[in-house]
Structure 1
Amino acid sequence: MASIEQNPDQINPPSPSSSASSSSNPWKERILIPTLLAGVAGGAIGLISKHRKVHGLSTISATYASNFAIVTGCYCGAREFVRVSRTGKPDDLLNSVIGGFGSGAILGRLQGGQIGAVRYSVIFAVVGTAADYAALKLKPAISKFTEKEDSWFKLPEWSPIQVLDDEALAAKRAREQQIYRNVHNLNKEESR
């Protein structure tokens, strides 16, 4: 049995702050955000549904939104459960296949018995994996678009919302303290 020697300078133990932030990011980025987006998309589809005249616009939109959110939440949760169980990478499409198959089987069994479980598991595995594959291919283009310095999202200089550096923040605090002192002294003079 061969032993592998490691250079102690190359070993980087994770800091507590990085492990805490990395454990919350998959929850937000890989489960919560897709579930919320699916709910919004479901609500939008409910707005144009042909059933809105029969059931009412708000009822059908809420139904579509909740169904889309439930399906997406179950799929994303199952995919993340599989990823953690396999100790795999977030970009591994096998996690999507297994998670889609499992979540589709559970939701299909609840909805349509054994036949529904088989049908839903195949549909969830195929559609979920296709969506994850498309997201993987689009992620570099989206990140390249949002990282540009001359992005459309940059606030103009005249905007009242500004991001302050340390010097500007210190000057702002000094002005606020000066105003507070002036107002406080003015109140003392009025009370005399």
Structure 2
Amino acid sequence: MTRTIYGATIGALAGVGIGLYKRQNPFTWFTSMGANCAIATCCFCGFQELTRELRAADPDDWANSFLGGLASGALLGRLHGTGINFGALLLKEYRLRHLLAAQVSNEGDKATVSASKQSLLSALYNFELPEWSPIQKLDEEEAKRRLVERENQRRRTLDSLQTGSLPAKDN
């Protein structure tokens, strides 16, 4: 517990320094840096103690710190990545709603609004890539053709394996 308090204090003091250096509100930096350092320190210390208990090792063993750091880094990194993905999804939804709200305020009629929402959504999801792009949409006819090609290749490979001859490569 004391190491967590020390970590939070060091983070809070660093936050005040950063806030003063950037000429921003030091209290905001104080709270955010202090909380982040407290969470990281608490997680590290918890995993370090868990590692020590699982290994039945000496409290001063460097492997406890190493393994605790790996485990806490993995957990906090995963939480951070998940938070970023979640925030990106919320931002995308917010921007889409904001765009639709701007469309709604310009239109006025509910029937027109519904049609404009549908056209806007279809424009967002049915965009066309340039011809030079290596990523292209696959239409249904091309997908069927590729499926038939794969099935024919699989059939030829099975036939060649049954007869004992080497499969012919199609290039």
Fold in common (TM above 0.5):
no
Q: Taking structure 2 as the reference length, what is the TM-score of the superposition?
A: 0.45
Q: Taking structure 1 as the reference length, what is the TM-score of the superposition?
A: 0.40
From the CA coordinates, give the structure whose radius of gyration is larger: 2
